[in-house]
Structure 1
Amino acid sequence: MSAASTTPLAEGAADGPVEVKTGPSGPRTRNATAYLLYVAGKLGGAAVSLFAVLVTSFFLFRIIPGDPVRTMTHGRAVSHAQLLELRKQLGLDLPTWQQFTQYCSKALTGDLGTSYQFHAPVTDLIAQKLPATLLLTGVAVVIHCALGLWLGTRSAWRHGRLGDKVSTGIALALWSVPSFWLGLLLIIVFSVGIGPIPGMFPTGGMESGGLSGFAYVTDVAHHMVLPVITLVAVGYAQTLLVMRSSLLDEMGSDYLTTARAKGLRDDLVRRRHAVPNALLPTVTMIFINFGQVAAGSILVETVFSWPGVGGLFYSALSVPDLPLVQGLFVVFAGAMIVMNVLADLLYPLLDPRVGR
């Protein structure tokens, strides 16, 4: 029998040596097959979720009060015949089921429709506004995830001490604060200025205009300070609390006691043993946070007049601009679904028991 097909695993069993196949039909093949089935299941679930998003986006925003046609023609002398013609042009005269089938067929080809108020393809409008949102919320997510992981690890490892109580209390307080209220407070204090505190930052916008090169980069960074602080302040608490809770669950495990008994330094036990095993719940949350980057923060972008998709979504809701609202909802939800799938596919690399 060749070594490639079988390998002795143990001796002394009741029936003699035990042989385990390691060839094409051995454990590696079974593990690979199980992982492929795991991946296929996750991708299938994502496809079902995306279809559910299409259904939800179509029917949910049709219950919003308001008539898009009358809102678009507000303040104009428009006859009833002209209103009917405009409804026909927008496809609002068709039965609901027919509107839905057309919407789904176009969405599957990447066509999210044409905006009522901007008279431009929804995909083009999103593409124009998305970079500003990715810049703002991307920087904020990276900062608050890193800050939350670091503080959460330190709080759990020093559980019950003054530093743990202070950091956890501050995180809970900031997490409870509405983001728009904190943004307005920062504008009042650091943009308008109070008493001896002068206004140091712009009240809104992304740039001052008329700048280029390094001066443009610093100007954009100057405009980003307050909205980034707002997003980080209200966002890092979730990462901190989840990481702290996960690490506290691991700290009583036997393998950590064994590692300490072997004489390993406390810092090494934390970094190499405790933290990696406590990361699974936190990884899911981090990927969800990155999925929310596309959505940005509608309230924060509105408060700081940031030219991203948050402000676009707000203006679309005010009409209501159904194609634009639906398109943004699909993009937001689609980003979340994709990031959840990526987190699920990463799990087997962090924990080999997953996907078997």
Structure 2
Amino acid sequence: MTTASTPADVVRADEARTTDGAPRTGSSLGYLRHAAGKLGGALVSLFAVLVTSFFLFRIIPGDPVKAMTHGVPTSAEQLATLRRQFGLDLPLWQQFTDYCAKALSGDLGTSFQFRAPVGDLIAEKLPATLLLTGVAVVIYSALGLWLGTRSAWRHGGLGDKLNTGIALTLWSVPSFWLGLLLIIVFSVGIGPVPGLFPTGGMESGTGETGFAYVLDVAHHLVLPVVTLVAVGYAQTLLVMRSSLLDEMGGDYLTTARAKGLRDDDVRRRHAVPNALLPTVTMIFINLGHVAAGSILVETVFSWPGLGGLFYQALSVPDLPLVQGLFVVFAGAMILMNLIADLLYPLLDPRVGR
């Protein structure tokens, strides 16, 4: 007796064969090839970052040794000794090979102005940057996803026009200008609005401990986080809105509605998961920015993070420090993009085939 094939059996049989009818090889092998290709691309990108970071900052006008000794009487012999001490008297190609060899071993060099290992300086400032930008990224990613979904699902309405208009306006505002405006209004105070928040820094420095210290840091955190969120959430909103609008005409949504599913269930269980793929990349790019922080915002608010350290290093220029920070910033972006690429086939099996 012949058993009738169910639709599920047909789908499984089709997935088990290639287009010419031969059995399909395991999907794990395809994923490994996909992962190997992305990992190779990440390594090439990292090497390109090393090359760029070395040569880019050497075209900045200024002599690091003269900048460090500015205002201090220094003889030509002393300047030559400092250049020899920092390796600036070596041929450029030798400086480059030494830099790459040390960087690949984890040694980012010694800062000219701080006379301390670059790795130690970065480790000291990293927690403040992770706190500031980490909180901001979580808030504006969640806000952008939520508002982008609601705007797309009710596109053309008043809420959609209002959300997209505000997002585009804030996205075009320079972050340093918005930060200065918030300081003027909410820190200094203007008219009937009193100064409610500190003008800068991460803490008051009055020796608080425990929960009082947490509240003090949170108080200093408000304005820089608001600045980053106001400027940053628009991109996630617009990408999510565009992706969901592309999905809303799909036949599978019509089928889901025909089954009697509520509109909220159709959106949450079917439309949004399929629209998330482009937004996943955006979220991981935002996570890559966590290490970089925001140089302008940290400078405006005197936040003691990597952004302020980068600004200090550029003003000399402190070549080992700016190179090390550039590698860390770019390396974080490369890592987050690699993770997104590795997650893509898990979210959508069509990717990487």
Letter in 2 for 1:63: I
Letter in 1 for 2:325: L
**Superposition pairs of residues 171-190 of structure 1, within 5 angstroms:** 171-190=167-186
Partner residue of 1:158? 154
Deviations 1:269-328 (A, max 9, x none): 000110000001100000000000000000000000000000000000000000000000
Out of 257, 265, 270, the position equivalent to 2:267 is 270
SS in 1 for 2:238: helix
**Superposition pairs of residues 72-91 of structure 1, within 5 angstroms:** 72-91=68-87
Out of 46, 54, 57, the position equivalent to 1:61 is 57
Partner residue of 2:286? 289
User: 1:260 Cα deviation (Å)?
Assistant: 1.0
Find the aligned partners of 2:186 and 2:105 in 1 and give their Cα distance.
46
Find the aligned partners of 1:274 and 1:328 in 2 and give their Cα distance.
40
SS in 1 for 2:71: coil
Partner residue of 1:251? 248
Partner residue of 2:6? none
Find the aligned partners of 2:116 and 2:77 in 1 and give their Cα distance.
25
**Superposition pairs of residues 205-220 of structure 1, within 5 angstroms:** 205-209=201-205, 210-220=207-217
Find the aligned partners of 2:343 and 2:35 in 1 and give their Cα distance.
10
Find the aligned partners of 2:223 and 2:179 in 1 and give their Cα distance.
7
Deviations 1:165-218 (A, max 9, x none): 001100000000000000000000000001111000000000012100000000
User: 1:30 Cα deviation (Å)?
Assistant: 2.4
User: 1:98 Cα deviation (Å)?
Assistant: 0.3
User: 1:221 Cα deviation (Å)?
Assistant: 0.2
Deviations 1:94-141 (A, max 9, x none): 000000000000001100000000000000000000000000000000
Deviations 1:234-256 (A, max 9, x none): 00000000000000000011111
Deviations 1:12-39 (A, max 9, x none): xxxxx99x69xxx964x52111110111
Question: Following TM superposition, where does structure 1 have runs of at least 4 consecutive aligned residues deviating by more than 6 angstroms?
Answer: none
Partner residue of 2:224? 227
User: 1:350 Cα deviation (Å)?
Assistant: 1.1
TM-score, normalised to structure 1, is 0.93
SS in 1 for 2:26: helix
Out of 302, 307, 311, the position equivalent to 1:305 is 302
User: 1:85 Cα deviation (Å)?
Assistant: 1.1
Find out whether 1:353 has 2:350 as its counterpart: yes
Partner residue of 1:101? 97
Where does the alignment leave 5 or more consecutive residues of structure 2 unmatched?
A: 1-8
Out of 141, 147, 151, the position equivalent to 2:143 is 147
Percent identity over the alignment?
82
Partner residue of 1:6? none
Partner residue of 1:130? 126
Partner residue of 1:5? none
Find the aligned partners of 1:77 and 1:173 in 2 and give their Cα distance.
51
Where does the alignment leave 5 or more consecutive residues of structure 1 unmatched?
A: 1-8, 11-16
Alpha carbon RMSD of aligned pairs, Å? 1.6
Find the aligned partners of 1:185 and 1:80 in 2 and give their Cα distance.
47
Letter in 2 for 1:254: D
Partner residue of 1:169? 165
